[in-house]
A and B are shown apart, each in its own frame.
Chain A
Amino acid sequence: MTKRSIKVQSFLKTFFGRGFIVYAAALIALMFILFAIFADVLSKYDPNEIDLMQSLALPSSEHIFGCDLHGRDVFARILYGARISMLISVFSCIVGAIIGMLLGLVAGYREGFIGTLIMRYVDLQLAIPPMLFTIIIGMLAGHNMFGLVFALSFGMLPGFIRLMYGLVLSLKQNDYIVALKFARIPTWKIILGHLLPNAFPTMLVTFTMNLGSTIMLESTLSFLGIGIQQPTASWGSMVSDGYSYIFTRPFLAFVPGICILLLVLSFNILGDSLRDAIDPRLKGKL
């Protein structure tokens, strides 16, 4: 057995160390990812096509989760909604993480005026309630996918910046970084070649854990009518639309609601496990 395969084995052992719950979370997350990728294949209905004759149809063999008020197949909308929710979540986290990490790196490495400026901006944004901030940015950016990604990624910037800033402040005190500076290695090489790779595992864990909360936030915004607009399916707007029928057609709100619950829970559990596997010392700290 090679050293590498031992390392992988050890990683997987720690990752799945919590047992059944992690397997279940991985399975659920994988299932939703497959739903999102193969939505076109899995559903024979167009998620946006209205058929008022099927309005509020109960679950049946034709429509396994029934139909909404406009006769749109709920299962199809769940599948396509998974795609939207995950795309928005992943893109928002990627954009937020990249910008946040870069700003955190610069602030932590350079400190001085630029560092102060960046960190005071972080303080300023943190002084505004995150939901309110995201709603305002979302409304300004427009009711579309780009606007939503922009708002969500903007909202998570302070988290990434502060974490990266702290890590860089700590890492740059290490002897090997000091030595690199004395050796007149270009700054960009130190940042990209040494600081970033060392900070990356921690950032990856934060990224994963943010996936769940971003899906939640996207759903909340869509529930409030600020997110993705009709006719595009989104889990949050499906809960919002189905909520009026809670007494007569509870499945309209419960099905997308349960999907949100399962996916958010899965990402959070996987994030926790990833943290344990990458750096057990971080357990309970992130």
Chain B
Amino acid sequence: MKKTLSLLIALVMVLSCFAFASTASAEERVMGGTVTGAMNVDVNTYASWRIRSQQEKTALSPVYETLMRFDAEGNLQPYLAESLTADQANLTYTVKLRDGITFSDGSKLDGDALLWNFENFKENSQTSATHFGSVDHFEKTDDLTVVIHLKEWNTQIPFSLNSVAGLMYSKKAFDENGYDWCLEHAVGTGPYVMTEYISDDHKTYEKNPTYWNAEAEPATFDKITLKIIADTMSAQAALLSKEIDFYLGSDNQMKDTLQSMGYNLYHNKMWYTIYFLIFGSAVEGSPLADVKVRQAIAYAIDSDAISKNLDYGMSFVSNQYAVEGTPFYSSEVKGYEYNVEKAKQLLAEAGYPDGFSTKISVGVDQRLDRYMVALQGYLQKVGITVELDYQETAIWTSKGIYETDEGMILAGHGFGANLVNQAVNNFSKRAISGVGMLKNSKLHPDDLDAALMAALSAADNDIMLENMHEAERLIIDEYCLGYPVVMGYGGEIITQPDIIDSGFFADFNEMHTWTNLYRVK
């Protein structure tokens, strides 16, 4: 009996060893080879300072790197920069670069290149006002150092240097080839070099042989191919047939299906997308000019049901313009719980007991149809007839989102570490001359503007948050300028089971770290 027991124990131990060995083997990182991914939309630019969309950030992250980067714990650290020194008394930030960083064209990232990058971004980027709106000028003080001089104190500059404002483009490439060439050619310091691109079809990247950080962060693949697959059903088929290793742009239904089949879903830990219904609150004579009507609309929408049923639980609900658990979230904000009776009562008090007609505008490529139909249905229940206005992409991005002159818009936009910037951009008076959503037909109250500007120029973090919390209360409870329908994750990719993201999308950064994407055996 003892002998049998001993044999059994021995067998179990041997099997366990095999099991452990196979686990270790299963997680072994494969270096080299090719990874093939796909996105739903192609990029509009290859120049670092023109990058805006999630797809552009993904497609150009192999080539470009930022001055600052979040570490694995979510702390902002210098990356291409060696240090970033803030001097509030003198309204300056000093950026000192690491020595020895080179672009893929062989030129050096030095003070001249950094100064040119900053000045070029301030002059030519569409998001210049968001990131460098408070910058007065830049000054090169030595071969590796540039000082940012501010007009007013801005707590968000370090976060901007983690974003597109912190991306470095080769000055040599610009000087030799000119502005227009740069719009179509990516030349950065990153681990990969773009070797081929065919619009709306694919891009190819190869390992940068002179990558400055190859020892610490080696490129995990020899080659990357990034395809464009606009249709999610085709993308799903491509993933199932292993034609592609990952996909950016899947809808929630596709994520739900593939996740249940063992595919990996990764999302960013800092960046979220808010689907915000913004009211044309400053349009004279419009029912939406009455705060009670806006509040009624907010009460009439069941965001929990939308998140659970339309998004398969892959989005979540927040009662304000911030995500619970982040410092920007204010527990003082009451928000609007789904309450049809309350909505009807507010409409009656506002003089619209039988409702009224209005419209919701949205960009046709935003894939928000599921929300639009739900909003239309919910508002119909309180007597508000909604026309759904789908605007062509070019019209929407250049005009509609800012200048729609009546009704509401439904806009999805990302935010994360730079929430103060985003709030200032959209809700302060600065929004009117900048790129604020519904900038001409939305209210920009004085007290909200004051709170936002105080947050932007706060002396310390506590003051910034205190003002931001007040701004949240004003945006949602006091003026009801918009209603957060649901929140989604800012960047999400779905990968084959053998493709692991250890900080590619699944980290705190706005730009993606391709060296953290790898294949396992």
Contact = CB atoms under 8 A, between A and B. Distances in A.
A76 to B, nearest CB: 14
Interface stretch (B108-116, B151-159, B368-376, B400-408): B368-376
Contact of A229 (B251, B254, B388): B388
Given A69-B370, A70-B373, A52 B253 contact: no
A244 B253 contact: yes
A113 interface: no
Contact of B310 (A55, A230, A247): A55
Which of A56, A229, A230, A248 counts the most B-chain CB atoms under 10 A from its CB? Answer: A230
Nearest to B378: A50
Contact of A230 (B251, B254, B302, B372): B372
B309 interface: yes
Contacts of A229: 388
B126 interface: no
Interface residues of A, number: 20
Contacts of B236: 247
Contact of B233 (A49, A50, A230, A246): A246
B257 A248 contact: yes
Contacts of B388: 229-230
B45 interface: no
Contacts of A55: 309-310
B380 A48 contact: yes
A245 interface: yes
Contacts of B254: 244
Interface string B376-388: 1110100000001
In which size bucket is the chain B interface? 20 to 34
Interface string A233-276: 00000000001111110000000000000000000000000000
Interface in A52-78: 52-53, 55-56, 69-71
Nearest to B372: A230
Nearest to A55: B309
A246 B231 CA distance: 14
Interface in B292-330: 302, 305-306, 308-310
A231 B373 contact: yes
Given A70-B373, A230-B372, A247-B257, A52 B310 contact: yes
A239 B439 CA distance: 38
B204 interface: no
Contacts of A50: 373-374, 377-378
B253 to A, nearest CB: 6
Interface in B356-376: 364, 369-370, 372-374, 376
Interface string B205-242: 00000000000000000000000000011001000000
A243 B302 contact: no
Given A52-B310, A243-B233, A230 B305 contact: no
Which of A53, A56, A231 counts the most B-chain CB atoms under 10 A from its CB? Answer: A231
Given A52-B305, A53-B305, A247-B257, A69 B377 contact: no
B310 A69 contact: yes
A231 to B, nearest CB: 6
B309 A48 contact: no
Interface string A59-101: 0000000000111000000000000000000000000000000
B301 to A, nearest CB: 11
Nearest to A56: B309
A247 B260 CA distance: 13
Given A49-B380, A69-B309, A248-B253, 20 more contacts: A48-B377, A49-B377, A50-B377, A50-B378, A52-B302, A52-B305, A52-B306, A52-B308, A52-B310, A55-B310, A69-B310, A69-B370, A70-B377, A225-B364, A225-B390, A244-B233, A246-B233, A247-B236, A247-B257, A248-B257
Interface of A: 48-50, 52-53, 55-56, 69-71, 225, 229-231, 243-248
Interface of B: 232-233, 236, 251, 253-254, 257, 302, 305-306, 308-310, 364, 369-370, 372-374, 376-378, 380, 388, 390
**Closest CB pairs A-B (n = 7):** A50-B377, A55-B309, A52-B305, A52-B309, A230-B373, A70-B373, A230-B388
